[in-house]
Amino acid sequence: MSEFSFSPYTYAYKSILGVQEYINYEYEVNWMSILTVIMLSYSIPCFFIFLKIVLYYYKNRGIIKKIGLRLEIFQSFMLMQFVNILLIIGEFAMFRIPYTGILSSFCAAENPQIVMRVIVFFYYFASYTSQMFTVLFCGLRVAILYSMKTKTTKKSVFYTRRSFQMILTFPSLIISFSFCAALPHYLSDGVCIQVFEPYPFGSVLIISRYHLSNIIGELFHFSFFSYILLLRPLFLDAQVHVVTCYFYITHPVFKKPQTQVSASPNFSRVALKTVE
């Protein structure tokens, strides 16, 4: 659509359902498409790096435990990063891909409620779970560090058992809570809304009417909100991908050949601190 009979941002932060200009919209490659491809190109290798970490853990649990690393910390880190990866997948489905405009005509004409509801539910479920798994990871670190500093053996054993119980019981509680918290977004209608400049005409995001109609939805009316939406994926990618790659590249357990990894007390302390 080269010329507009109306302002391209007439429907900024409003539903595009049934709007003829969006129904007739024809997708063309734009700068958001290029940016999304770039984000996808560096995300995929980071996913494979995380997969290598998981495979290493399952193949070498005995070695990891022998050299003094805490399995609870390792497990909590993998859970946290796995959910963060799910969050990025939800981010692509709810924000980054719709920003390109490739789904705009389909959303305006077909109103695919089931697809939009699942996407929004999945994103918020991953978001809530990610935040709480991060808290769990930090809590485990504190519990284990405190147990190492306790002078009595009984207290040390007590906090060690507590950390083991946390990794067994808390994930199921977190997942249940996140499911219940995200459920209202699934029960509400999904909506495609046009994003304000600097996004091009046709750039939309998928959101629930539940979220759009509450007080937080009033944030959409701020002129700089679209710039926040533009920058937030970069911070999310840094949080997830940089942590995964840094852990894999710098941790001694991935650098040393298995035959050279010893149970040296000095090595164990360094490795434990690095994991934590």
User: Is pLDDT above 60 for 91?
Assistant: yes
Structural domains in the chain (count): 1
**Quick one: what percent of the chain has pLDDT higher than 70?**
76
Q: What was the pLDDT predicted at 36?
A: 94
Q: Is 32 among the domain residues?
A: yes
Residue 153 lies in a domain: yes
The full 3-state SS of 186-220, as one line of letters, equals HHCCEEEEECCCCCCCCCEEEEEHHHHHCHHHHHH
Whether the per-residue pLDDT at 44 is higher than 90: the answer is yes
Q: Considering the chain, what is the average pLDDT of its residues?
A: 80
Q: What is the pLDDT of residues 112-164, one digit of tens each?
A: 999 999 999 999 999 999 999 998 888 887 777 766 665 555 555 555 555 55
Does the residue 193 lie in any domain?
Answer: no
**Any domain includes 113:** yes
The C-alpha angle 101, 39, 230, rounded to 5 degrees, equals 60
Can you give the pLDDT at residue 84? 95
In a domain, 4, yes or no: no
Domain presence at residue 9:
no
Q: What is the pLDDT of residue 54?
A: 92
- Provide the pLDDT confidence category of residue 271 given band limits of 50, 70 and 90: very low
Is residue 204 a part of any domain in this protein? no
Domain that holds residue 35: 20-188+233-275
Asked if residue 184 belongs to a domain, the reply is yes
The torsion of the CA quartet 240, 241, 245, 246, rounded to 10 degrees, works out to -50
Choose between 214 and 216: higher pLDDT.
Answer: 214
Count CB-CB contacts under 10 A for residue 25: 21
Q: How many Å apart are CA 31 and CA 193, to the nearest integer?
A: 19
Per-residue pLDDT reduced to its tens digit, 225-262: 788 888 888 888 888 999 999 988 888 777 765 444 44
d(CA 276, CA 273): 5
Angle at 263 between CA 258 and CA 265, to 5 degrees: 140
Is residue 175 within 8 A of residue 129, CB to CB? The reply is yes
